[in-house]
Amino acid sequence: MGTVLSTSATGRWLGRFEAMPPLAWLGLQAVALWPHWRWAAGRLADGSDDPLGLAAVVVLLGWVVWQAHGLRGNARPGWLMGSGALTLLATVSQAVAPPLAGALLAALALACGWRAIAPSGQATLPLAGLAVLSLPVVSSLQFYAGFPLRLVTAQCSTWLLQLAGRVAERSGTAMVVDGHLVIVDAPCSGVQMVWMAYFCACAMALLGGLRERSFIRRLPLVGALVLGGNVLRNTVLVALESRGPLADAWHQGIGLAVLAMVCAVVTMLMREARDAAPQ
């Protein structure tokens, strides 16, 4: 039988909409949420946050393009409704909630929208994680979690140095080691490492097809790894700084080496989990 074509104007437009690919619907949803992206772009443009989120955006876009051919024509109604509700909430939140909260809702709405049309068997949480990490969250994370992280890092480093026989004392987030003052200030909190490690975890889980339950189970381990890594990095640097001024190259080198170790363990964690997961 030939194609049935509507001859009314409304019907023709409805026909065009129905004929639109699923990705176009997702695009339209993204456009509908554009005030949140505008805010996020403004945060990056005025330098109030690191542009790390762009890396998550690149991974997400790459993933979307890669998966575009297998998208479902008929969306999953539950996820579609969830996506619509979150979009509505994100829009309303502009008037009643901080911009970051609205942007988080918008990112989750898009993740739900993707889940509605994504091929079966794909995990959504890593993608949702990447969507959240694509937002300017580092400064907010620094604001809310930075001080506790610095405090814990300074205390653990003090204990480690005391165990190593050094005269170490913590005062707030500052440390006095062998009479030398070294401060654990905001850039030392490990928030950047938190972002990097979770970015690595989400990306590996997404690309590796990790199941959601396994992914969730290993997320706390990623957090513990980051904390341990930052304590190690801080302890080594404080120990060296207390002996005299340390060149910036040492700071960079030690920081990158520890980060590489943390990320390597994160990738192993995700791989082992995937291998262990039932196929």
Q: Which is nearer to another protein, 21 or 78 (CB)?
A: 21
Nearest distance from C-beta of residue 193 to another protein, angstroms? 6
Which residue in the block uniquely carries the two structure tokens 């381990």? 221
Nearer to another protein by C-beta: 218 or 233?
A: 233
Report, in Å, the least distance between residue 179 CB and another protein.
12
Which residues make Cβ contacts (< 8 Å) with residue 146, sequence separation at least 6? 186, 189, 191
Residue type for 235, please?
T
Residue closer to another protein by CB (options 78, 169) is 169
**Residue nearer to another protein on the CB measure, 42 or 78:** 42
- CA proximity to 207, closest of 270, 249, 253: 270
H helix intervals, the chain: 9-19, 22-32, 34-45, 53-67, 77-96, 99-117, 125-133, 138-163, 191-208, 212-241, 248-276
CB of 65 to another protein, least distance (A): 6
Question: What angle is formed at CA 114 by the lines to CA 108 and CA 115, rounded to 5 degrees?
Answer: 90
Applying CB under 8 A, the residues found at the interface with another protein are 3, 5, 7, 12, 15-16, 19, 21, 23-24, 26-28, 30-31, 34, 37-39, 41-43, 45-48, 50, 52, 55, 61, 64-65, 68-69, 180-185, 187-188, 190, 192-193, 196, 199-200, 203-204, 207-208, 233-234, 237-238, 241, 245-246, 251-252, 255-256, 259-260, 263-264, 267-268, 271
Report the nearest approach of another protein to the CB of residue 128 (Å): 19
Is 78 or 209 the residue whose CB approaches another protein more closely? 209
Q: Which amino acid is at 194?
A: V
Report the alpha-carbon distance of residue 33 to residue 66 in Å, rounded. 23
Taking the complex as a whole, the smallest distance from the CB of residue 109 to another protein amounts, in Å, to 15
